[in-house]
Structure 1
Amino acid sequence: MIETFLIGTYTHKSSEGVYELQLDTDKKQLQNLELVGRAGNPTYVTESKAHKVYAIDAESEDGKKIGGLKIFDAAEKPFKELGKTLTPGTSPAYVTVDEARQFVYTANYHTGIVTVYKIESDGTLTTTDTAKHTGAGPRPEQQDGPHPHFSDLTPDNRLVVCDLGNDTVYLYDVSDDGKLTEHSRFNCARGFGPRHIVFNTDKNVAYLVGELGSGVAVLDYDAAEGKFSLRQSLSTIPSDWTAHNGAAAVRLSTDQHYLYVSNRGFNSIATFKVEVNGELTLIDQIPSEGDFPRDFNFNADEKFVILVNQNTDNATLYSRNADSGKLTLVQKDFTVPEGVCVAPTK
């Protein structure tokens, strides 16, 4: 069976934009990388059920940076460009689609702004609201101000935003007309640098990855109150690792039994077992077979995991044992230029 994935990239070297990658599950191999949409630094991409692709885009206008989203129609290849939503300043770090309410959300690491867009009938976007964060953290290299890195939905359809710069997780209520109202905040340990979060609906907990602290926090999520509270903190790297590392992507298996986190620096995927109470136990570390693995993702039945290494321009394929949760190397050194994001197509 052939499955396809969208690959978001930086375009500092040889990459030209958004790529499509095939996984042949019978042959257990990655194949047929194809450029499908030209864009500037499309570091995160997502596809709606209507087969519209929303990709981060960075351009320049009169010598000044502008950034936002480029919208593509994925019904044909290469993708047909439908429009752009670009504003002064650098581009966002994350984009996602709210199918139920037909919104798109972005988190802009550089400007500190979270944006809500309404999806129009043709797939293009209209801004409905923004939220500007403030504050800073103790780590001067990445906490000189607010840096929202992630904005996506909670299981009860609030918007959760991870701000790496000010060590805060925000919860927003979203109105039917796309307006944001701040509901609550969770303050992380200073210097944790919250980057991404996933939810375990069986255990009513969330798993929050801290890029700067190379850690994962288990948070109780009280949906009725709309609040987080800390239960457990673990490291994603060995205690004797002293070189630089930044924890990056986090994925939870559909059965919610295993959690995976990528490490950039230690260059690995950490595997955690989800215990009966929702807490985590580290059970494995497997090398990424490249440098600076930002993102990875499961295939449809979660028997495989695809990872991209940004600095070494390669993708790695693992098989996944659903019973043990452990990953096994299947293929490495498949060329993917400056890979940053792995997103299954719809």
Structure 2
Amino acid sequence: MEQIFYVGSYSKKGGYFPRISGEGLTKCALNVKTGELKKKESYQEVPNATYLTKYGSEILLVASDEYYNPGNVLSVALQKDTLVPLSSQSTHGAATCHLSVNDVVDMVFVVSYLDSRLSVHDMKEGKLSPAKYVYQYQGHGPNKERQEQSHAHCAQVSSDGKWLYVCDLGSDKIWIHDIENLTGEFTDVIGITVPSGYGPRHLVFGEKFTHVYVICELNAHVLTYNRNEETGMLTLIDDQATLPENYDGIPSAAAIRMHPSKNTLYISNRIHNSIAVFSINRFTGTLTFETRIDTEGNEPRDFDFDPSGEWLVCANQDSDTIVSIKLDANTGLPTSGVKSVLECGTPVCVLF
């Protein structure tokens, strides 16, 4: 009845996370009947595991953040009783924060926030190559505190392995790379401008990959784009707020994920301590607000769904907890509030 998942956490002080109490990387379990959460094993040799993804079913990829110093990207074999390190490579960027992989082209794409770099690595037999290309984005936005320069925050590769999309919070841009024609030179990059001051943070693809949903951190709006599969270009078709109209706090949207049913989109808001839920129109791709979930903790930084779609597990960074919430697997809508709470130091990423 257990479903294994992994939690990345801050375990080494730096920059915007002076308070740390995490263990780096932790293996956890979810009871799929009751929602109970428990820890299985910790791997403290991985400092500041800021983002996780899988390559196939047997390899875990980890973005490890050194903040002011160049971070690393690691590949780890998932074995029954333990994790086995396979490779580690420099990202050549500071505050490494996100990565994605595509097994069509066997490449890993890693972004670093502080100096806005993208490193591109080949994957072969579970091992990462040194960076074959390193891009550094340029630009700025109207928010003088957060957009004083370019800040790449997310890299997502399309399912066909043709296009890479990079959210740049600092310059209000979504950068588009043609993966088959990468050169390492900035001249091969297309920039799509989002509304001024929005600060795009993360994105996900719609069910048929013809729509892209972008969460913007600085005003907590979610943007819906039509995507041209041939050219990779994006056309804005919808713009919605994720916070209540009467909210007078500071917007700070964090994670965006699509429910396995493809019927709903979930977005976390850190200072508001909630997760907004939108239903998705399967024909137009547009969103309709449904509800908000209280995460019963501070700073819901990230969350993920178990494979059945019946549970959501959320990482509350500043209250040092992860929590489980029951969902309807078919509709993708929540059916309860928090079911279980597990102490977990400064958690920032969850991956089933």
TM-score with structure 1 setting the length: 0.91
- How many angstroms does 1:68 deviate by? 1.8
| 1:173 partner letter | D
SS in 2 for 1:311: helix
Query: CA offsets per residue over residues 98-140 of structure 1, 9 Å max, x none?
Result: 2122111101111111111011335233211122100011112
SS in 2 for 1:261: strand
Q: Which residue of 1 aligns with 2:95?
A: 91
Change (3 A) 1:29 1:161: same
Change (3 A) 1:132 1:324: closer
1:125 and 2:132 matched: no
Q: Which residue of 1 aligns with 2:17?
A: none
SS in 1 for 2:188: strand
Q: Which residue of 2 aligns with 1:340?
A: 348
Show the 5 A alignment for 1:157-196. Answer: 157=161, 158-175=163-180, 182=188, 184-196=190-202
Cα distance between partner residues in 1 of 2:83 and 2:316: 24
1:210 and 2:216 matched: yes
Unaligned runs of 5+ in 1: none
- How many angstroms does 1:83 deviate by? 3.4
SS in 2 for 1:101: coil
Deviates more, 1:89-98 or 1:286-295: 89-98
Cα distance between partner residues in 1 of 2:218 and 2:93: 24
| 1:306 partner letter | V
Q: Which residue of 2 aligns with 1:293?
A: 300
Show the 5 A alignment for 1:73-84. Answer: 73-75=77-79, 77-84=81-88
Query: CA offsets per residue over residues 8-27 of structure 1, 9 Å max, x none?
Result: 11114221211111011123
Select the residue among 316, 327, 332 that pairs with 1:320: 327
Query: CA offsets per residue over residues 260-293 of structure 1, 9 Å max, x none?
Result: 1000111101000112421111110111110000
Query: CA offsets per residue over residues 172-223 of structure 1, 9 Å max, x none?
Result: 1112888687353210011111011111144822111001111101111111
Percent identity at matched positions?
26
Show the 5 A alignment for 1:1-346. Answer: 1-11=1-11, 12=13, 13-36=20-43, 38-49=45-56, 51-59=58-66, 65-75=69-79, 77-86=81-90, 90-121=94-125, 123-157=127-161, 158-175=163-180, 182=188, 184-202=190-208, 204-275=210-281, 276-321=283-328, 322-323=330-331, 325-344=333-352
Cα distance between partner residues in 1 of 2:223 and 2:90: 34
Check whether the contact 2:164–2:176 (CA below 8 A) recurs between aligned residues: yes
Query: CA offsets per residue over residues 226-273 of structure 1, 9 Å max, x none?
Result: 211111111010011111221111111233211110001111010001
Deviates more, 1:147-156 or 1:283-292: 147-156
Cα distance between partner residues in 2 of 1:47 and 1:278: 27
Q: How many equivalent residue pairs?
A: 341
Unaligned runs of 5+ in 2: 14-19
Cα distance between partner residues in 2 of 1:219 and 1:89: 29
Change (3 A) 1:98 1:156: closer
- How many angstroms does 1:5 deviate by? 0.8
Change (3 A) 1:121 1:33: closer
Deviates more, 1:195-204 or 1:303-312: 195-204
Q: Which residue of 1 aligns with 2:16?
A: none
- How many angstroms does 1:338 deviate by? 0.8
SS in 2 for 1:172: strand
| 2:125 partner letter | S
RMSD of the TM alignment (CA)? 2.2
Query: CA offsets per residue over residues 280-338 of structure 1, 9 Å max, x none?
Result: 11110111110000111110110111101000000111111233623422424311111
